[in-house]
Amino acid sequence: MAPERETGTRERHPAGATAAGRPRGARLDQPRTPRHRMLPEWDPEAFGRLSERIARFLGTGRFIVWMTIVIIAWVVWNIAAPDHLRFDSYPFIFLTLMLSLQASYAAPLILLAQNRQDDRDRVNLEQDRKQNERSIADTEYLTREVAALRIGLGEVATRDWIRSELQDLVKELEERRRHDGHVVFPAERAERSPGRDADDR
């Protein structure tokens, strides 16, 4: 006898893409709701381009000249100006702080610019390597084709070869004419001397 089926003990859950029992966030046919972030968002490419511009400016003589002018003006003002107009007295603590702040920001920007340049160099080297591989493959293919053409042309009768063969044949015929004193073509010889052919038989 067939076993009896269990009835009413198990709950059935709807299955498929239109299942109503699944939570709304787990559906794959709908985009996720955007999350609210506390930190500000920025474009990495735009930030990288800005860092490269700053790094290029920091590596020029113009930046060194301007920084030297600002430091000299800062020191002269805080020494020669009246006491109530000075904003940084002799140890120049504020100037030291500003220079340290500038250096602490300059180093990461320069490193970021170098990393971007390294990535570009890596991509360029990969493209150059692929281009060199294609050029080598094309050169090998053309070399094989030229070798095949040379082999094929070695078996073809060229105009110079035919001319040399005809010249040799003409020389041979002239030599025979000199020895016999008449034309030595086989057809003419057979027509002129039928008796000789009969005697030979």
What percentage of residues in the chain have a pLDDT greater than 90? 23
Neighbours of 94 (CB within 10 A): 13
Tell me the pLDDT band of 1, cut-offs 50, 70 and 90. Answer: very low
Q: Looking at residues 170-198, what average pLDDT do you find?
A: 64
Nearest by Cα to 109 from 52, 41, 45: 52
Nearest by Cα to 114 from 57, 51, 64: 51
Neighbours of 51 (CB within 10 A): 19
Phi and psi at residue 79, to the nearest 5°: -100, -45
Residues sharing a CB contact under 8 Å with residue 79, sequence separation 6 or more, in sequence order: 90
What pTM value is reported for the model?
0.46
Tokens coding 16: 């498929």
Nearest by Cα to 56 from 110, 99, 104: 110
- Over the stretch 18-73, which tens digit does the pLDDT of each residue have? 545 555 556 788 877 777 777 777 677 888 888 888 888 888 889 999 999 999 99
| Side chain identity at residue 82, one-letter code | P
Q: What is the DSSP string of the chain?
A: -PPPPP-SSS-----STT-SSS-GGG-SSSPPPPPP-SS----HHHHHHHHHHHHHHHTSHHHHHHHHHHHHHHHHHHHHS-GGG-SS-TT-HHHHHHHHHHHHHHHHHHHHHHHHHHHHHHHHHHHHHHHHHHHHHHHHHHHHHHHHHHHHHHTSPPHHHHHHHHHHHHHHHHHHHHHHSS---HHHHHHH-HHHHHHH-
Q: Looking at residues 190-196, what average pLDDT do you find?
A: 53
Q: How far apart are CA 81 and CA 149, in angstroms?
A: 90
Q: How far apart are CA 154 and CA 150, in angstroms?
A: 6
Q: Looking at residues 68-95, what average pLDDT do you find?
A: 88
